[in-house]
Chain A
Amino acid sequence: MANSTLKFTERDLIRKPKPRNLWSKWGITLFLMALPTVVYIFIFHYMPLEGLIISFKDYNSFQGMWGSPWTDMGGFKHFVTFVTAPNFWTLIKNTLVLSALSIIFNSTLPIIYALFLNEVRYKWAKKTVQIIMYAPYFISTVVMVGILFILFRADTGVLTRILVAFGMDSTSAMSNPKAFVAIYIISGLWQGLGWWSIVYMGSLANVDPNLHDAAKIDGAGRLRRIFSVNFPSIVPLAVIMLIMSIGNILNVGFEKVYLMYTPGNSVSSEIISTYVYRISFPDYGQPQFSYATAIGLFNSVINIIVLVTANFISKKVSDNSLW
């Protein structure tokens, strides 16, 4: 009797019941669950790709996407027009500066903030700080920029008065091209820091307490545990987030930059997406759909190249990657 019991292998013990029908065998239920998303992605992200054709054409709405004539230069006229435009390098520089600084600050500061907030012992204090920090995220961009204009209003703005007290000019910093980037980044952090840190807070909550116990036994202090236990546990997440941000390096948020635009800061605040807007909604003449699409396509191709490169480097260096 005992011998016969010993004949069961481990495989026998974990063997699952046989699938009762094809639905479960092929996992069709799972496919059905994914179907709405697949359909959504297909309809709204793949089907519109057809429209990219107009970046190679001189589109006019009377003849439509397929009937409009191809452009000169083998269909690349609009791309050539863009890369030879006098403000091309200014647009690229402004976009990259805003994007790179946003990535640097928006990726690192939420991590630091989350690591330290995680160490607050009193739950009520932690919750209070969290709410205060992520509440600004719910202010709309339009209102947010409106607040900035009021704070920096010439002569009377609160922040202008503080700057004047430090010997600065009483004109608004909103029309200073040198101040534009700083205002953009700092106001963005004020608005988003709490929100962006939520994902890291969630990750830190899942850190195995045994690791902390083991580190304590080994004599690690609080700071050491932050850097040697908590930080490594969120690095993979941080890397994925970073790679995804880098994949959007030329996609700086259009609306905030556009709203912050003033004639005085235009040399810093004109980026690719605001330029596309001006082309698409010109004061003069008709919308230039083909040219705007060409710039958008150019933008996307650069983003893909940067994304693949960043992913490749990350895989080589840290073993963390999107694919």
Chain B
Amino acid sequence: MKKNSILTTALLCGVTFAAVSCGGAGGSYDPENFLPHGTEENPYQIVKDPITIEIFAPHSSGQPEYKDLKMFKQLSKLTNLNFTFTTPDTSAYPNRRAAVWEDRNYKPDLFLFNNPISEQVQYAENHFDALVPFNDPNYADSTGNIGSLIDNYMPTYKTLLDNNFNLPSTQENAKETATVSDGKMYCTLSVKDVARDLTYKMFINNVWVKNVHDSFPESYAAKHGIDDATKILTIDDYVGVLTDFNTYDANNNGRNNDEIGVSSKAFEFFRNFILQGYGYVNAAPELEADGSKFTYVPKTEAYRNYLKVANSMWKNGLMDRSSPENKTDSQMATNGKRLGSFVAAAPYLITGQNEDPNNLKEDGSKWRYDLEYVTVNPLLSSEYNGPRIHYGFGYFKPDGACIPTASKYKREVARLIDIMYSKVGTELIAYGVEGEDWTWDDEAKTSWTFNVPEDWTGNQEEYRGTITPNVGSASALYWSNEFVGKMNDEVITTINRQSEGYVPYLKTPEPAKYKFTSKEYQEISTIKASLDGQITYYETTFIKGDTMDPNSDKDWNDYLSTIDRFNAGRLEEIYNTMLARYK
């Protein structure tokens, strides 16, 4: 009797569980609930009765849970959609993202942010029925003929695409970037046109430049009329001024040689900055200026010239000797106030701020060390006198948002994505709700102020992290200069203005419109896993000059044969094979 009742209970539990599970996964879809154009009162409303959208998105440690972010709460209020989240950590995101397809029971409605292009390529090649093509006019599923999501449900995104996101001057083409080999768009674009986020910046201490120029007539700066850092135009100028810093006690503390010319994180950005003086912007395959071919830069004489300059700077004590080990800004910042120049998102991240309460400006505000720093122009050299170039991250990336075919709510999610690209959506993702989190400063709407609560103890970005996932790993879908560029903030306005100086020279070494086949992606990944380590090792070795000298032909040829053994030539060939398909 007892045994029977246990069995009956177990059976009932099983049946109930199965029923609940099935109900959750396969509930019916009500097409009448969808509002393609919102309502008169609320054009952003997407459904009459609330439905729940499952979002899969990367998450950085230290970030609040997405369900607690104001942006999603506000989106929920506007659209009448509820959200649930699966948010793997950023570091595990690529693997978790790929593993989603293995789990036949997990069906997210939206992949938001950081969607890999290689996955879309693989999908397109094999016609796996996994992602909805946004631009397919014949697309149909069990809920009926949906057609082109962009044409039918995404008017804002369609207009932005048609107008190349209002970036007429750029060479980059939004539509080409979003389209894969079968002519379809499986992912929306993430777009950035804010100058400070389009490139890295090389800063130099302009007060030191002026000190040296004004006080020492025999200095390089004085002899070449460099009384302001904006007059540094060549690699010789740059090295000459850094040498002055050391020689002439640029910081006026009575000790020569305690200034450090330049610091870098593992040479990476320093390398790109010097390389541009020889016609390239990074140590990887790079599209030639005329678009004719890709060149593997570490094989070139330009790269060797960079190594020679860096080796000479190292030997002459112009480089931070911690550079090979520096992995973070905070490691660079150890020597912050002694640095003549460095690459960073903003100077104060490296130099810190003057916390001395007695050291105030005339108006009573604290003096900021970092405002002494200005950006260095893209350089030229005697070996390269072509157009000035500077590394650009690119405006468009095809990694914004994808809709899995398993989702019942494709049209609803398409409208949601479209709202994220609208004025309200871009403002919301960037800085939150108008009137609450930020307010316009004037009626003409020329600038706005971010309202960080007075009792907030962290910094401004940390507060922004309570509003939007855009702090940390996730990119905003549309980080628009039209709005972000109007922020009223002394530091950010200065950095924006300085960064704008680089915009006319930006060169993206590998434009995002070019896509490989999945086999090519695989081979590139395998080659780079071993080749990149060789490149960075030899770079460090050549610069330090202990065992290899970039001026020695023998050492250089040994290096070339080593990297060829590691398939540098094959890597270049894959890039050019891909390029040939676009011609």
Q: Which of B324, B532, B533 interacts with A172 by CB under 8 Å? A: B324
- Does B381 sit within 8 A of A, measured CB to CB? no
Q: Which of B98, B266, B565 interacts with A289 by CB under 8 Å? A: B98
- Does A99 sit within 8 A of B, measured CB to CB? no
A267 to B541 CA separation, bound complex (whole angstroms)? 11
- Does B551 sit within 8 A of A, measured CB to CB? no
A284 to B520 CA separation, bound complex (whole angstroms)? 11
Q: Is the CB of A175 within 8 A of B324?
A: yes
Contact A284 to B528, CB < 8 A, known contacts A154-B325, A172-B324, A264-B537: yes
Q: Is the CB of B99 within 8 A of A171?
A: no
Q: Which of A64, A65, A156, A266 interacts with B533 by CB under 8 Å? A: A266
Interface segment, one of A35-43, A81-89, A229-237: A81-89
Contact A155 to B321, CB < 8 A, known contacts A86-B566, A279-B525, A286-B521: yes
Q: Is the CB of A262 within 8 A of B529?
A: no
Interface segment, one of B119-127, B224-232, B303-311: B119-127
Q: Is the CB of B526 within 8 A of A263?
A: no
Q: Is the CB of B102 within 8 A of A291?
A: no
Which residues of chain B are within 8 angstroms of A171 by Cβ–Cβ distance?
321, 324, 544
- Does B130 sit within 8 A of A, measured CB to CB? yes
A145 to B528 CA separation, bound complex (whole angstroms)? 26
A285 to B121 CA separation, bound complex (whole angstroms)? 10
- Does A203 sit within 8 A of B, measured CB to CB? no
A280 to B91 CA separation, bound complex (whole angstroms)? 11
Within 8 A of B (CB), among A66-109: 81, 85-87
Q: Which residue of chain B has the shortest Cβ distance to A259 in the bound complex?
A: B327
Q: Which residue of chain A has the shortest Cβ distance to B321 in the bound complex?
A: A154
A92 to B415 CA separation, bound complex (whole angstroms)? 53
- Does B118 sit within 8 A of A, measured CB to CB? yes
Which residues of chain A are within 8 angstroms of B537 by Cβ–Cβ distance?
177, 263-264, 266-267
- Does B530 sit within 8 A of A, measured CB to CB? yes
Q: Is the CB of B325 within 8 A of A281?
A: no
Give the distance to chain A from B453, nearest Cβ to Cβ, in Å. Answer: 33
Which residues of chain B are within 8 angstroms of A279 by Cβ–Cβ distance?
525-526, 529
Contact A264 to B540, CB < 8 A, known contacts A280-B95, A281-B94, A286-B122: yes
Q: Is the CB of A263 within 8 A of B524?
A: no
- Does A153 sit within 8 A of B, measured CB to CB? yes
A61 to B94 CA separation, bound complex (whole angstroms)? 12
Give the distance to chain B from A292, nearest Cβ to Cβ, in Å. Answer: 10
Give the distance to chain A from B506, nearest Cβ to Cβ, in Å. Answer: 21
A86 to B524 CA separation, bound complex (whole angstroms)? 14
- Does A287 sit within 8 A of B, measured CB to CB? yes
Mark interface residues in B178-189 (1 if CB within 8 Å of A CB, else 0).
000000000000
A190 to B376 CA separation, bound complex (whole angstroms)? 46
- Does B539 sit within 8 A of A, measured CB to CB? yes
Interface size class of A (residues with CB under 8 A): 35 or more
Q: Is the CB of A62 within 8 A of B544?
A: no
Within 8 A of A (CB), among B264-293: 266-267
A266 to B526 CA separation, bound complex (whole angstroms)? 17
Q: Is the CB of B540 within 8 A of A263?
A: yes
Contact A263 to B536, CB < 8 A, known contacts A62-B126, A282-B528: yes
Q: Is the CB of B94 within 8 A of A286?
A: yes
A264 to B535 CA separation, bound complex (whole angstroms)? 10
Residue from B119, B324, B331, B539 whose CB has the most chain A CB atoms within 10 Å: B324
Q: Which residue of chain B has the shortest Cβ distance to A175 in the bound complex?
A: B324
Give the distance to chain B from A266, nearest Cβ to Cβ, in Å. Answer: 4
A92 to B524 CA separation, bound complex (whole angstroms)? 22
Give the distance to chain A from B537, nearest Cβ to Cβ, in Å. Answer: 4
Q: Is the CB of A86 within 8 A of B530?
A: yes
Q: Which of B118, B529, B532 interacts with A286 by CB under 8 Å? A: B118
Residue from A155, A170, A286, A288 whose CB has the most chain B CB atoms within 10 Å: A286
A266 to B98 CA separation, bound complex (whole angstroms)? 29
Mark interface residues in A224-256 (1 if CB within 8 Å of B CB, else 0).
000000000000000000000000000000000
Which residues of chain A are within 8 angstroms of B439 by Cβ–Cβ distance?
none
Q: Which of A62, A149, A169, A172 interacts with B123 by CB under 8 Å? A: A62
- Does A275 sit within 8 A of B, measured CB to CB? yes
Q: Is the CB of A87 within 8 A of B322?
A: no
Mark interface residues in A47-68 (1 if CB within 8 Å of B CB, else 0).
0000000000000111111000
A267 to B116 CA separation, bound complex (whole angstroms)? 30
Q: Is the CB of B525 within 8 A of A288?
A: yes
Q: Is the CB of B325 within 8 A of A149?
A: yes
Which residues of chain B are within 8 angstroms of A222 by Cβ–Cβ distance?
none
Which residues of chain A are within 8 angstroms of B525 by Cβ–Cβ distance?
279, 282, 284-286, 288
Between A and B, 11 residue pairs with Cβ closer than 8 Å are: A61-B98, A263-B324, A263-B533, A263-B539, A264-B541, A266-B533, A266-B534, A280-B95, A285-B524, A286-B522, A289-B98
Which are the 9 A-B pairs with shortest beta-carbon distances? Answer: A263-B536, A154-B321, A285-B521, A62-B128, A61-B101, A285-B525, A175-B324, A264-B540, A87-B530
Residues of B within 8 A of A (CB): 91, 94-95, 98-102, 116, 118-119, 122-123, 126, 128, 130, 266-267, 320-322, 324-325, 331, 334, 518, 521-522, 524-526, 528-530, 532-534, 536-537, 539-541, 544, 546, 565-567
Q: Known A-B contacts: A174-B325, A284-B528, A287-B98. Give 4 more (CB < 8 A).
A: A62-B126, A87-B530, A264-B325, A287-B95
